[in-house]
A and B are shown apart, each in its own frame.
Chain A
Amino acid sequence: MASTSAGSNLIPEPLSRKLRVFAFDPSVAAQFDMAGISEMTIDVPWERNLQPGPVGDYIEVIDADPASGAFYRPVDLNDPRVLAQQGLPPSETNPQFHQQMVYAVAMATIVHFERALGRVALWSSHHDKGSPEESFVRRLRIYPHALRDRNAFYSPEKKALLFGYFPVGIKDANNTPGTLVFTCLSHDIIAHETTHALLDGVHPRFNEPINQDVLAFHEAFADIVALFQHFSYPGVLRDQISRTRGNLANENLLGQLAQQFGRASGRGNALRDALGDIDPKTGKWKPKEPDVRILERTAEPHARGAILVAAVFGAFLKVYRSRTLDLYRIATEGTGVLREGDIHPDLTRRLADEAARTASYVLQMCIRGIDYCPPVGVTFSDYLRGVITADYDLNPDDSSGYRLAFVESFRQWGIHAHGARSTSVDTLFWPTGETAFAEMPERDSAPVAVPGQAAPIDDLTVEDYQRAETQAILSLLNDQESTAGPDQMSPKRQSARTARKLGQASVELDRYEAWAEIDTNAAIVWNWLIEGDGRQFARSFGLVLEEDDPPPTVFRSATNPNRVAVEVHSVRLALRRGFRDVMDTNLLIEVTQRRRGYFDAAEQKRMDRCGNTEFARAGDFSYRAGCTLIINPSDLSVRRVIKTAGTIADNKELDRIRSYLGGGLEPANAFDSARQLLKAREPFALLHRDGEG
């Protein structure tokens, strides 16, 4: 690493920067009995070129407050006076501290993500209106004082987090009317919104509400990350372990989100609590009991998301309990009954270690799971399968029983794999390439002959399949990109591609290169899948090509109307330390197809009619289907095939989405229209309004 001034090479670069933040939010900090944990110091990666703002490599904090007609002076975290005291001291009245806190918490969240996914975090690309080109967004922007509203949200349009502030309107023991609540001072709200942005970077289509789980998942996932991040702060963790005498199922701050925001909205407690609720009758906190039917009754995204969060938290508690049983036995001389009063500080420390380790693993599992989801229309059930399969692939040995705990807890909350005939863990694994091929559904009609293509193969013996697969993957990995780009994959990210073999990218790449690389990789994969050895597996991947004669509403290539359009997105390499510390590599590929959907079923039928290529009007919505492929470059196999609920030619699935969008007969309660959200300028702003954080 080049040094900037003489002599400085004597000093090693620091690994991290220590910054002070409110541990939860200013309301917790203002409680006398919380004095010990009101603030904390967190470590964020050392960014040498961190500019005032702070503006770093991942984040830029710009403190504009248009409602007040003002900007606030940017904080310089490299100022020696700031460095010497580990950042500015927590303060509600100093906007520069607000800037420091959003930066610190957002960076901490990004670190969790990168560690779990084994690659650099990228924000979703920017699309200029009317142009197919995408541009790189290096930094997520954070506006700590963007709105005068009881709201904070991630804007996919602006690639920015907008935090609001608002006056307290009620008067009770926790609130003084007229005082301001800054959403940017809540650790949980920052972590939650940053996670929305990170998830959007991985799955830009996860904000299209085509079933009732998609938006709920976005919310739940953001909550899960925010919650489990609490456990990575030792001071807070020990304090709460000590207060609950190690029983984390009791009411505690770790299981709650956004205390101040919740109280200021008049609910008397935190905005959300994964463990329990205030009973409206008694006014007392009571734990949540799992309910297998609750999903059927719940449609609102936050309420639905809370069920997923409770299920994950339930799994965490199961493992934590089993891992601490021995400690309790030792501490109680085998009786299992703790004496009255405080528990021993040593026990606190040991329990905290176990809680931290368990929480960290659960968080990693949860984040890794998003790589194992279908590219569009995720459901809770898909996610459960994703978490379980990803964990198995990385760590086949599950000695602590994490996977079993997940499956059991999810089952208790009514989340299970659709159509699964057994409840054991292994039935939840996504199929391997071989299984997907063997289980391929029969064709309805004989394949249509396609000029220049060999007839598709529908069955192979196991040995033949394995040989063909190895051969195909080998050709994919060795494919030098052809000079002429494929006709359906015009370069979107950079004008000229460098010829490079797939999989040469490394985690050390600059984030811009990593981003541009995706285009190159996508072209290689497209060629392989459509023109090359991959085509023989296309149907087992749930893709519909010319030989399947899909309806004319399925998009055709822009350059060749005889070809069905296939879009390859997000070809990325993930590198992780896996089982027995072996480096584990995954090549992730997302493939989708598009079809014009019409709100009117009769119109759809008309447009779907054979030979119809004249579309009187563009579709009302896009129906997308496809798959996520996980390829293992080391043993040359298709590790997992994760298909969407239906193929692009599947009319039943299209009908389901139509009826959901059209006012949903599927959700069990109101005739509320998901279409409203589909068109919304800021989808998350709508979701996050008034008291729903």
Chain B
Amino acid sequence: MAKTTAKKKAAAVGEVAARLLPKPGEVIVRMYRIGHGDCFLLAFEGDAPDKPVYVLIDCGYKPGSSKLVHFKEEQARNVVIGPNKIKDITQNIRDATGGHIDVAVITHEHQDHVNGITAKNFAGISISETWFAWTENPEDELANALRVKFKDQLIGLMGARNRLAAVDPDATEKIDRLIEFELGGEDEQFNAVNAVHALGAAAAGLENSANKQSMKLFKDLARKEGGIKYLRPHEKVIAVPRAKALRAFALGPPRDEALLESLDPKGREEFHGVGLASSGNYLAAAVAGGAAGGDSPFAKRYRLDTDKAFADPQHGAFFITNYGQDAPVGAGVQPSPSSSAPEWRRIDKEWLYSAEQLALDMNNATNNASLVLAFELGKGGKVLLFAADAQRGNWLSWGRKNWRDGNDVITTKDLLSRAVLYKVGHHCSHNATLNGKISDEWANLSWMATGDAAGEFTAMITAVRAWAETQKGWDHPLKAIKDELLMKASGRVFQTDTAFAAMKPDDAVEADWTTFEQRLTETKLYFDYRIRCEGCEWQPARRP
């Protein structure tokens, strides 16, 4: 029923997109040019030629960025191509899959990965399985502890943000942008004040954030068919339903034992109530104290409240002379013109800047909680690596454990050496692709595509440069990493905002480039990239 309405709507716009059908021995990766964010549709051979296995990885974008997807090309060719609207993208997903997704993956709870997932956008689409990282598992003790901590910090952060707004409105811009990631939504003009008010800045309110609703939607859809999976890294080789010879490996997020230990459950219970479980919460407790501040660590007899200190008969002059204040109050004591108490030395706001760091930490923590997946096309075959927004901490953990595969051991180094496709971590930002040597003990770019895969290695960067430049300090993609990727992939580096014509490097080998060109399709909405996979046809497994 829902399906037909959807088709009608699409028909009303004028066209129904074709189904995405891989040829035998082929995999198609559709990279939606959704904006500054991730949305991938993978089609693998299924149990019948017209029934491929569809895997959707994330569906989100930074509001405002979708308008600039074609900006570079529009400038270069002096044409108007227009934005890519989310409803067109989800309509295309619906058409291409015939309304059914076999596996939906949500890598992590950030706006630019999930905000396209709304009931409206996904009306008429069913899902067999939804995969999350173990950090989302409601039955996992550590995950629950982490979430409680995170929620407390978020509440504290929003409180600090409001206090900072009162004294230094400009200083909140960066924090607001980070909060926006955590709460999500599709509004282009994110307003942290409204968001905080709308949610009531309360624990319960945070459960209703746009991000949480997106996560819930995919959970509910999959629940109907009984398939929610919470994946732990290095645990087992994951089978993909109906798919021929396709296997998946979870590389991250790490289950950090050190973290487990530091979250002493007893301590947590005890101190949760008074909000002292972490520095972040301590900050929050001070914030909660309102303008009068939190509890001072010292006895009253040593203390002079900020509003009374300057009028204190004994010490007022000391603070006026040495610290100073904007408008002298009370006691008639005026600061002398030669006062050594200039404004630039005061620290009234400094402690609140910790909030910015807290916001950044939380943002990084969520990125590091990214579900990192490697899809293996047949045992010992080519590998597609989707690194989501994994940053340094996540990367470092990949190589620490191995998988057991029957009697064999599969290592991360082995998987990465067979990577023919790398979805570049976190919009190709500075700490989301590690550099290093093949001999290094941490997973890094040199580990990738070392074997037969080297000549085919291709990278995909989900970034809209023109939009990122409007955000202070966002260097996406980072030139140093992109250059390295371009070199490693001989120019085969997709980027959301870059037309195929602009991709070709000056020194490309013509024959190689033609081969590459034959394997891809470019439209306004997406790139399709086809990968041959011998292993997909149940051939006897190659020994690694």
Interface residue ranges, A against B (CB under 8 Å): 51-53, 55, 60, 62, 64-74, 93-96, 126, 138-139, 141, 143, 145-151, 157-160, 162, 165-167, 169-171, 177-178, 180, 182, 266, 599, 659, 662-665, 668-673, 675-676, 679, 681-682, 685, 689-690
A69–B291 contact, CB under 8 A?
Answer: yes
Q: Distance (Å) between the CB of B523 and the closest chain A CB?
A: 31
A158–B347 contact, CB under 8 A?
Answer: yes
Selected contact of A663 from candidates B344, B440, B473, B481, CB within 8 Å: B481
With a cutoff of 8 Å between Cβ atoms, the chain B residues found around residue A182 in the complex are: 297
- Give the complex CA separation of A169 and B259 in angstroms: 12
- Interface membership of chain B positions 348-367, coded 1 if the CB is closer than 8 angstroms to chain A and 0 otherwise: 11110110010000000000
Between A and B, 17 residue pairs with Cβ closer than 8 Å are: A66-B347, A68-B294, A68-B296, A68-B297, A69-B294, A71-B306, A96-B302, A138-B340, A139-B340, A158-B346, A166-B282, A171-B266, A663-B430, A663-B480, A669-B436, A671-B484, A672-B430
Given A68-B295, A177-B271, are A148 and B344 neighbors across the interface (CB < 8 Å)?
A: no
With a cutoff of 8 Å between Cβ atoms, the chain B residues found around residue A159 in the complex are: 345
Selected contact of A60 from candidates B296, B322, B357, CB within 8 Å: B322
Given A96-B302, A663-B478, A668-B436, are A148 and B286 neighbors across the interface (CB < 8 Å)?
A: yes
A151–B354 contact, CB under 8 A?
Answer: yes
B357–A689 contact, CB under 8 A?
Answer: yes
With a cutoff of 8 Å between Cβ atoms, the chain B residues found around residue A685 in the complex are: 353
With a cutoff of 8 Å between Cβ atoms, the chain B residues found around residue A55 in the complex are: 322
- Give the complex CA separation of A73 and B313 in angstroms: 12
B283–A68 contact, CB under 8 A?
Answer: no
Q: Which of B292-309 contact A (CB under 8 A)?
A: 292-299, 302-307, 309
- Interface membership of chain B positions 154-187, coded 1 if the CB is closer than 8 angstroms to chain A and 0 otherwise: 0000000000000000000000000000000000
- Of B258, B303, B479, most A-chain CB atoms within 10 Å: B303
- Give the complex CA separation of A55 and B286 in angstroms: 29
- Give the complex CA separation of A177 and B262 in angstroms: 11
- Give the complex CA separation of A96 and B298 in angstroms: 10
Other than the given A73-B303, A159-B345, 19 more pairs (CB < 8 A) read A65-B293, A71-B303, A72-B304, A73-B315, A139-B340, A145-B297, A146-B350, A148-B282, A160-B345, A169-B267, A171-B267, A178-B271, A671-B433, A671-B435, A673-B430, A675-B475, A676-B473, A689-B357, A690-B279
- Of A64, A69, A141, A689, most B-chain CB atoms within 10 Å: A69
B297–A165 contact, CB under 8 A?
Answer: yes
- Give the complex CA separation of A52 and B317 in angstroms: 11
Selected contact of B323 from candidates A64, A67, A162, A672, CB within 8 Å: A64
Given A169-B277, A170-B264, are A149 and B315 neighbors across the interface (CB < 8 Å)?
A: no
Report the nearest A residue to B433, measured CB to CB.
A671
With a cutoff of 8 Å between Cβ atoms, the chain A residues found around residue B479 in the complex are: 599, 662-663
Selected contact of B322 from candidates A53, A96, A177, CB within 8 Å: A53
Selected contact of B435 from candidates A162, A169, A266, A669, CB within 8 Å: A669
With a cutoff of 8 Å between Cβ atoms, the chain A residues found around residue B49 in the complex are: none
Given A71-B309, A74-B315, A671-B433, are A169 and B279 neighbors across the interface (CB < 8 Å)?
A: yes
With a cutoff of 8 Å between Cβ atoms, the chain A residues found around residue B113 in the complex are: none
Selected contact of A162 from candidates B266, B303, B306, B350, CB within 8 Å: B350
Q: Distance (Å) between the CB of A488 and the closest chain B CB?
A: 28
Given A169-B277, A670-B431, are A72 and B298 neighbors across the interface (CB < 8 Å)?
A: yes
Q: Distance (Å) between the CB of A586 and the closest chain B CB?
A: 32
Query: B276 within 8 Å of A by Cβ?
Result: yes
- Give the complex CA separation of A473 and B307 in angstroms: 59
Q: Distance (Å) between the CB of A124 and the closest chain B CB?
A: 13
Q: Distance (Å) between the CB of A54 and the closest chain B CB?
A: 11
Given A70-B304, A151-B354, A177-B270, are A664 and B348 neighbors across the interface (CB < 8 Å)?
A: no
- Give the complex CA separation of A672 and B258 in angstroms: 24
With a cutoff of 8 Å between Cβ atoms, the chain B residues found around residue A141 in the complex are: 345
Given A96-B302, A671-B435, are A149 and B351 neighbors across the interface (CB < 8 Å)?
A: yes
Given A159-B345, A169-B278, A169-B279, are A671 and B267 neighbors across the interface (CB < 8 Å)?
A: no
A149–B262 contact, CB under 8 A?
Answer: no
Q: Distance (Å) between the CB of B330 and the closest chain A CB?
A: 14
Query: B319 within 8 Å of A by Cβ?
Result: yes
B430–A93 contact, CB under 8 A?
Answer: no
Query: B538 within 8 Å of A by Cβ?
Result: no
Query: B434 within 8 Å of A by Cβ?
Result: yes
With a cutoff of 8 Å between Cβ atoms, the chain A residues found around residue B513 in the complex are: none
Q: Distance (Å) between the CB of A460 and the closest chain B CB?
A: 46
Selected contact of B262 from candidates A158, A170, A663, CB within 8 Å: A170
B302–A72 contact, CB under 8 A?
Answer: yes
B354–A148 contact, CB under 8 A?
Answer: yes
- Interface membership of chain B positions 372-385, coded 1 if the CB is closer than 8 angstroms to chain A and 0 otherwise: 00000000000000
A73–B431 contact, CB under 8 A?
Answer: no
With a cutoff of 8 Å between Cβ atoms, the chain A residues found around residue B298 in the complex are: 72, 93-95
B297–A66 contact, CB under 8 A?
Answer: no
Query: B289 within 8 Å of A by Cβ?
Result: yes
With a cutoff of 8 Å between Cβ atoms, the chain A residues found around residue B264 in the complex are: 170-171, 177
Q: Distance (Å) between the CB of A246 and the closest chain B CB?
A: 36
A664–B480 contact, CB under 8 A?
Answer: yes
Q: Distance (Å) between the CB of B384 and the closest chain A CB?
A: 22
Report the nearest B residue to A157, measured CB to CB.
B344
Q: Distance (Å) between the CB of B494 and the closest chain A CB?
A: 19
Query: B392 within 8 Å of A by Cβ?
Result: yes
Report the nearest B residue to A92, measured CB to CB.
B297
B271–A670 contact, CB under 8 A?
Answer: no
B392–A670 contact, CB under 8 A?
Answer: yes
- Give the complex CA separation of A53 and B319 in angstroms: 10
- Give the complex CA separation of A143 and B323 in angstroms: 11
- Of A148, A180, A599, A672, most B-chain CB atoms within 10 Å: A148
Given A55-B322, A148-B279, A169-B278, are A66 and B292 neighbors across the interface (CB < 8 Å)?
A: no
B347–A160 contact, CB under 8 A?
Answer: yes
B305–A70 contact, CB under 8 A?
Answer: yes
A673–B478 contact, CB under 8 A?
Answer: yes
Report the nearest A residue to B290, measured CB to CB.
A69
B267–A177 contact, CB under 8 A?
Answer: yes
- Give the complex CA separation of A170 and B279 in angstroms: 11
Q: Distance (Å) between the CB of A180 and the closest chain B CB?
A: 5
With a cutoff of 8 Å between Cβ atoms, the chain B residues found around residue A689 in the complex are: 357
Selected contact of A266 from candidates B262, B319, B345, B436, CB within 8 Å: B262
With a cutoff of 8 Å between Cβ atoms, the chain A residues found around residue B357 in the complex are: 149, 689
B347–A94 contact, CB under 8 A?
Answer: no
With a cutoff of 8 Å between Cβ atoms, the chain B residues found around residue A145 in the complex are: 297
- Give the complex CA separation of A668 and B270 in angstroms: 44
Q: Distance (Å) between the CB of B289 and the closest chain A CB?
A: 7
With a cutoff of 8 Å between Cβ atoms, the chain A residues found around residue B484 in the complex are: 665, 671
With a cutoff of 8 Å between Cβ atoms, the chain A residues found around residue B295 in the complex are: 68
Given A162-B347, A670-B431, A671-B480, are A52 and B279 neighbors across the interface (CB < 8 Å)?
A: no
B322–A671 contact, CB under 8 A?
Answer: no
With a cutoff of 8 Å between Cβ atoms, the chain B residues found around residue A663 in the complex are: 430, 475, 478-481
